């Protein structure tokens, strides 16, 4: 991101601070009004076809101790962000948590608290974490396929990379910021993107040459995907016009991985239009697959059952397909991993399972 754009971030943060200052100067108690960030306040945004926060609001008022402490910590965080902008530095979320240990007041009790504060600050200022120069502890996952991009290096120069020819077996490592100021998508010779939950299955498809045989770009989601991974999927879909298919395990947590890719996650519902791909299609392990392929399974845990029951009420799972699959899984009391397909050999997933799934969704042929 260019320094001029960080200047825009600086101005917006200072405007937020000035609002609090002006309220105090007028002898009034400052308040922060923001959307309630829970499942009950998730609604469908008709314009973008993603799930966003609705009209329910919460108020943080300095009139109360908790509200005053919240406001104090937000101001400390803003001061820290402004310092990073001045010095052209970045920080991991973990470092920011430890930075608070040096604050005279307003220390965070846990990293979860500081992470949530960073998300709240995004909501309050309509900015992104990347604008704050904050990054996760780890980068996103990996990409393999005939995708050519340019990535800005430490010297500020763009370096061309082909995600098939210029990377090793692990693929191209997705950086924490994949917007156009950092990563430029230049060209792609592929028909679709396959987003894969587990590292083991990603490696299997790479070893079996799935990306070349089926003209695809493979993206390792690395479990619940980082926002940089979801942002890249969004850009591949919008800018390179590639359909997104999501291949996961067959359990409630994997279903939520798909939902976060397709419709957005609850904690990041304020930026779903930047991350979610509503046209994504699920080709992961389903309850029907477990029955049809007689896959090895594990018994659902109590937490699995609770999660599936919650998904029946989740607005992201209201279609007949999801209702049927979730109810079937509850009735079976079974779940299965992607690797369960290895029951039929190491090539089964690339020779039979995925071609059949892709053919069923998009009439694709090998």
Strand, coil or helix: 363: coil
**CA distance linking residue 231 with residue 233, whole number of Å:** 5
Summarize the chain as % helix, strand, coil (round to 5). 50, 20, 35
Of the candidates 221, 224, 248, 252, which has an alpha carbon nearest to the alpha carbon of residue 316? 252
At 57, phi and psi to the nearest 5? -120, 155
**CA distance linking residue 139 with residue 267, whole number of Å:** 19
Burial of 99 (0-12, 13-18, 19+ CB in 10 A): middle
Please, what's the b/e burial string for 108-142 (b: 16 or more CB within 10 A of its CB; e: otherwise)?
beeeeebbebbebbbbbbebbbbbbbbbeeebbbb
The answer to whether residue 53 is catalytic is: no
> Which one of the listed residues 21, 53, 98, 172 is annotated catalytic?
98
Q: Between vectors from CA 349 to CA 295 and to CA 275, what angle results, nearest 5°? A: 100
Catalytic residue numbers?
A: 98
């Amino acid at each position: 991101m260019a320094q001029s754009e960080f200047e825009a971030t600086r101005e917006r943060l200072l405007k937020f601070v000035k609002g609090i200052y002006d309220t105090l100067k007028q002898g009034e108690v400052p308040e922060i009004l923001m959307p309630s960030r829970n499942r009950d306040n998730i609604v469908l945004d008709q314009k973008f076809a993603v799930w966003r926060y609705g009209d329910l609001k919460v108020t943080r008022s300095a009139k109360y101790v908790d509200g005053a402490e919240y406001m104090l910590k937000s101001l400390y965080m803003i001061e820290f962000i402004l310092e990073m902008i001045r010095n052209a530095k970045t920080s991991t979320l973990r470092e920011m948590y430890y930075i608070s240990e040096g604050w005279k007041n307003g220390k965070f009790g846990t990293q979860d608290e500081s992470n949530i504060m960073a998300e709240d600050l995004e909501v309050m200022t309509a900015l992104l974490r990347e604008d704050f120069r904050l990054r996760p502890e780890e980068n996103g996952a990996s990409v393999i396929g005939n995708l050519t991009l340019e990535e800005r290096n430490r010297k500020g120069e763009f370096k061309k990379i082909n995600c098939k020819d210029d990377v090793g077996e692990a693929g191209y490592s997705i950086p924490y910021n994949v917007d156009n100021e950092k990563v430029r998508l230049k060209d792609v010779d592929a028909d679709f993107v396959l987003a894969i939950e587990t590292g083991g299955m990603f490696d299997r498809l790479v070893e079996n040459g799935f990306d070349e045989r089926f003209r695809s770009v493979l993206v390792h989601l690395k479990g619940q995907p980082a926002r940089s991974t979801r942002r890249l999927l969004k850009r591949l879909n919008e800018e390179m016009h590639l359909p997104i298919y999501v291949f996961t395990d067959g359990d409630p947590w994997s279903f939520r991985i798909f939902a976060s890719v397709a419709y957005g996650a609850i904690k990041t519902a304020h930026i779903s239009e930047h991350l979610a791909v509503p046209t994504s299609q699920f080709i992961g392990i389903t309850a029907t697959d477990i029955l049809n392929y007689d896959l090895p399974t594990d018994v659902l845990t109590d937490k699995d059952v609770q999660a599936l029951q919650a998904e029946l009420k989740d607005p992201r799972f209201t279609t007949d397909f999801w209702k049927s699959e979730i109810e079937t899984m509850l009735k079976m009391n079974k779940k299965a991993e992607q690797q369960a397909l290895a029951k039929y050999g190491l090539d089964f997933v690339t020779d039979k399972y995925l071609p059949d799934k892709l053919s069923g969704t998009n009439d694709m042929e090998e």
